[in-house]
Chain A
């Protein structure tokens, strides 16, 4: 189990975000992405989830480029984006059941992941009545609902209170002990020991060459 990036460059629209980025992660590694807003943390995580293509370089899983076998790669990841993907009219437990059925990993007991994120009492509550922290917790409950070796978490700590922060740190710690890999972006220091950190600000794209028009 290895996630590697070599000479990676990405752009949003026409604007280059970063270039020459590389990392190598093996079982038990946690990579924290930092960098100012707009530096490309979300774009990097989306690339790692197989959305879009890098403008240069490549990402590979177990030595195979992601694009080669996207389907089986995607079966091995948990991606929690910055949006929670909640439907206001569905309850928390319906949401969780839908996600796991969609992933072809039906839940035996939906109460368990909800309780693990401290949402046990909100199971029947429609998502429109959840606070932003609770919405975040519900999205993160997917991590507990079914197992996947690679976690890609985009700002998982936004809007979370200290208790939930501890819960997430505990989940990540347990995942890495079990041999999983976590890549996450955050602006908030997480109570985790021995993580690798990567600042996207260290990989600025080359300045666009100014070509004379005349």
Chain B
């Protein structure tokens, strides 16, 4: 467990020292979401109807921002060799990396999302459900992203390739995430929340396993 903690703490430390990726994801999320009133027009009813969709699509795109660097930096400077040589199984390496990615770029979104949604005239009563759906959905985004990042390791234009690879896989999360907090939907959204939880429960063991297999290929 020492090695898992060491890897996670190092990633967090690097993210804070270099100041970039995490803050960038939140700023991108807020700025891009605020473009919509200009594009869609300022009618409160239209914005309120689309707010959930806007928040989710932006959260999806924000989580992609730092993804191509997830393993790339460690691979380029030789750190990944040392990580692979350590007693920590590669599956747990991926888990630590995905957790780091979520803490830096997913967790801040949970705080920013209610603010953005409110600015888009979203009904405050739906906010807890929106945040809960994001809390269950964004870790899955980070896990799926880790698979994409591992698969594109060493490829040219990895950033674009990751997006092309990961975005289609994230569609189910988008569908259930939006439905969970959609004011137009019938029911209280608890079914969708449970589906999001189930998707996370499936991704939690499967994604690290798949990404670890891809990393092994890249290291050979």
Contacts and interface: CB of A to CB of B under 8 A. Distances in A.
Interface in A42-91: 49-53, 71, 74-75, 77, 79, 81-87, 89-90
Nearest to A99: B82
A162 interface: no
A104 interface: yes
B59 to A, nearest CB: 27
Nearest to B220: A52
B3 A75 contact: no
Contact of A83 (B78, B87, B219, B220): B78
Contact of A79 (B10, B14, B79, B85): B85
Question: B-side binding surface: helix, strand, loop or mixed?
Answer: helix
B81 A79 contact: yes
Interface residues of B, number: 23
Interface string B70-114: 000000011101111111100000000000000000000000000
Contacts of A101: 2-3, 5-6
A149 to B, nearest CB: 14
A103 interface: yes
Interface string A84-128: 111101100010011101111010000000000000000000000
B79 A103 contact: no
A89 B6 contact: no
Contacts of A49: 81, 85
B3 A102 contact: yes
Contacts of A79: 81-82, 85
Question: A-side binding surface: helix, strand, loop or mixed?
Answer: loop
A97 B220 CA distance: 27
B186 to A, nearest CB: 50
Interface size classification for chain A = 20 to 34
Nearest to A84: B78
A74 B85 contact: yes
B57 interface: no
Contact of B220 (A53, A71, A74, A89): A53
B81 A86 contact: no
Contacts of B86: 74, 102-104
A48 B79 CA distance: 18
Given A51-B81, A51-B219, A106 B2 contact: yes
Contacts of B14: 87, 89-90
B17 interface: yes
Nearest to B78: A83
Most buried by A among B13, B77, B78: B78
A83 B84 contact: no
Contact of B6 (A50, A71, A84, A98): A98
A87 B14 CA distance: 8
Contacts of A51: 81, 84, 219-220
A86 B79 CA distance: 7
Interface in B1-23: 2-3, 5-7, 10, 13-14, 17-18
A84 B2 contact: no
A85 B87 contact: no
Nearest to B5: A101
Interface of A: 49-53, 71, 74-75, 77, 79, 81-87, 89-90, 94, 97-99, 101-104, 106
9 contacts: A49-B81, A52-B220, A75-B87, A84-B78, A87-B14, A89-B13, A90-B10, A102-B3, A102-B88
